[in-house]
Structure 1
Amino acid sequence: MTLLSSSGVQSGIGSLQLSFFGAGSMAEAIVRGILDRGLIEPDHISVINRQNSARLEELAQRYGVQAPPDEEAKLAMLRHADVIFLAMKPKDAAAAIKQLRQLVTADTLIVSVIAGLSIRTIETLLEQPMAIVRTMPNTSSTIGLGATGISFSESVTTEQRKLAETIFQAVGLTSIVEEPLLDVVTGVSGSGPAYVYYLMEGMITAGRQLGLTEEAARELTVQTVLGAAHMVQATNENPADLRRKVTSPNGTTQAAIETLDEHNFSQAIVHAIDRAAKRAAELGADIERNATS
């Protein structure tokens, strides 16, 4: 398999066969991103799941990708894939990956988007060292604003690294980290959108309870969060410094921040991220136990 031609990364992607083993929202986000960027034609992508044929048909109609209808066709797609994305649910991962043992070759690139699933466990399940890219994207990848942490097995070549980065840059920002830190990435950015949504829920509820209409509370909250994120990005300033700039002594913001501090808001966020990271490790340990059972 030749991943890349001498003319560059993107020229090599178009000749590959990509297969998504799992058809959930993250698989769809990546498919949409690479198609929107024109990196590959839809007929070079196949999407496979265990039994939800309606979901496969939906993706086939929406994006023009291949959605093999029967088990034999699914196995054929996986066997001929240059890149296989592991995008199934964690509870299904061990059994699904074991199915790949007789289908992959030394040239197959494996890309995992499963929280907690280590490179070592994937190799154990496949019973061989492989070129494996372990990633942790988030759901904002659906609109091209994702954040993805990436780690590589020792077998991944320089060209394969570039390929993986190009694919995930199609759905947002990428950050290369050492594999043990991917559980931290899961806690910070993988689960991170939910923390922001939770904050927004509270802001909307407060606005409504204090007299704003649902529409006004929602619009003001959404624009506030959007503006704050853009301010950090545009100014490149530390969020703490930006917070201090809008916190006048004895003013309304200081009163609000003091109330948050009374409820240990900052420490609650730290504890939440720590728990999410530990839960990712627990999920990975569960899969590893299944791998050796």
Structure 2
Amino acid sequence: MSANEITWGDGAMKDFLGLEGKVAMVVGGGLGMGESTSVTLAEAGCDVAVVDIDRARAEGVAARVRETGRRAVAVVADAMDAGTAAGSVAEVVRALGRIDVMATIVGQAEWSTVLDVTEETWDLDHRRNLRYFFFYAQAAARAMVKAGNGGAIAAVASVSGLQSAPNHAAYGAAKAGLVNLVRTMGVELAPHGIRVNAVAPGTISTPRINEGPHRAAFEEKIRNSLIPFRRLGTTQEIANGLLFLLSDLAGYVTGQTLAVDGGFTAQFLLGAPREA
């Protein structure tokens, strides 16, 4: 069931989520998983700041948020530039008053064998999958601590950070670092009432994957039963995982990474893949 199919009824579900009237900042909120997350948080009752490197994308998603009846602001920033973190957070606070929850969805992988990884590839994958998260989460946490109302931060990690990631050495190492950083920040920020968690997507049907050169490889994974659900995940399913972690339903959850992967990491493949 997608967020658009949820029947909110008399508001009881929103009461469980505890997000009504809160302010959400979605970094990378203008496309794919970020767009789904921005709209889902709005439907759950949040005002939303859509942070994206592309102004048209950010403004387009902000317009979708306003269609739900919530406030929205588009913030244009290159998240890979750590120097934009404090300024982006300050812009959101000026526009919407505060930040209660933040989701970070920037990330991409270079494909390369261990023998072929270059220094440039290594640094790029760490900048766009790990380094940016720390500085944006740090800036948001500082604002939350100053406000004194607690908060929640949820990152998008990857199954490549939970187990070996052939041809993803730099990316997998960065995502594994993110998983560890979520644990550390979750523990350190708990006394301030701030929770920090992550979702680890499996293979998700995003615009980049659908249009990219590796679509055939992902479809092969499905044919070989490497994904028990035998389909790609959807951006809405990742948004739903982030919604849970940012909501009061996860009020006693911090430092955790939730795999949203169709069962991919739950299995031990003994021998040849089973037949379809």
Q: Which has the larger radius of gyration?
A: 1
TM-score clears 0.5: no
What's the TM-score, normalizing by structure 2? 0.45
What's the TM-score, normalizing by structure 1? 0.43
